[in-house]
Amino acid sequence: MVPILAALHGLEDLIAVQLQQQQAAQRRRRGRRRARQAEQAPPQHPIIPQRHSPIPRIRGSPFNVTPEQIHTLYRLDRATNTSIVDMIHDDIVSLIDIRTAIPPLLKVVSVLHFLATGTYQHTVGQMHGISQPVFSRTLNQVLDAHLKHAPEHIPMPRTAQEIANTKIGFYSLAGIPSCSGAINCTHVELVVPHHNEAVYRNRKQFHSINVQMVCDANKIITHCCARFPGSTHDSMVLRKSTIPRYMEQHTGQCSRLLGDAGYPLKTCLLTPVRNPQNRHEEEYNRAHTRTSIVIADFWPFEVTV
């Protein structure tokens, strides 16, 4: 039996060797076949992708509408929009590729439309031919440019002539003398912030920024402070703003501000009498209300950012 088993094992080894030889011969034949096909095939050149110059997007002029529609869309007339573009042109113009860049005029009017209507960025972008990510960057760019020029257009009256004209304007409303501005605060609603959420929750239980503004008798804004969260009281906003320093610098002008009952009564800040006891106090309250109403006209609705 032993010689027979040895013969069988030898036969299996011989068959395995023959199979390996056949597989090797098949691989060599396939290699020679591929080589012949490569020699007969025409030469192939590598395909290099060519980058074509971008085609500029043709956008229509945002002013191809009536003056009434311009005011409805942007809350400003054509001349004011153009003056804003001229003012911040150097801050928002693109120097990368002038063929595909968004024109400064389109940047400004799209941001004004967004601020005027409070709609979504995607909707504003579609209306003006701008994608939402591009409009988001444009919004930050235009707002930063406006903040850069804000001190030039929101100044408190400084010279004696400016202060005198402001006093005359307020005196003509209800007879209150030496008034150089009306002050008030409002809460601008915010999306719930991720950090210090409780600090931004105001007394009405929604998240906001407490914005302080001052205007003259013609309802022209002369001061704006939007640095404090909604939980900050109006008196604290006033104390931490630049108004007290301004009033100290102009004490010789006998200037005073008019504020509501949320502010403390001071020499430079007149507030209503809480419990009037006689006719003179009642008349003062009526005159105070008729005069300070100019700043209340700025808050006809809640703004959400």
pLDDT in tens, the chain (305 residues): 445 545 545 556 666 667 788 888 888 888 888 888 877 766 666 666 665 554 445 566 777 888 888 888 888 888 998 999 999 988 888 766 555 678 888 999 999 999 888 888 988 888 888 889 989 999 999 999 998 888 888 888 888 899 899 999 999 999 999 899 999 999 998 888 888 889 999 999 999 999 999 999 998 999 999 999 999 999 999 999 999 888 888 766 678 899 998 899 888 899 999 889 999 999 999 999 999 999 986 654 444 33
Quote the tokens at residue 174: 């209800």
The burial class, CB within 10 Å (0-12 / 13-18 / 19+), for 136 is middle
Domain ranges of the chain: 67-153, 160-296
CA–CA distance, 152 with 84 (Å, rounded to integer): 13
CA–CA distance, 292 with 272 (Å, rounded to integer): 10
Concatenating the DSSP letter of every residue in 117-180 gives H---HHHHHHHHT--HHHHHHHHHHHHHHHHHHHHHHSPPP-SHHHHHHHHHHHHHHH---SEE
Q: What is the pTM of this model?
A: 0.67
Given the DSSP bridges, would you call strands 269-270 and 256-258 parallel, antiparallel or unpaired? parallel
Report the 10 Å Cβ neighbour count for 112: 20
Query: 26 — phi, psi (to 5°)?
Result: -65, -40
Size (the chain), residues: 305
Report the 10 Å Cβ neighbour count for 296: 14
Report whether 65 contacts 109 (CB < 8 A): no
Sign (positive or negative) of CA dihedral 12, 15, 17, 20? negative
Q: Give Cα separations from 266 to 213, 259, 290, 293 (angstroms).
A: 18, 10, 20, 20
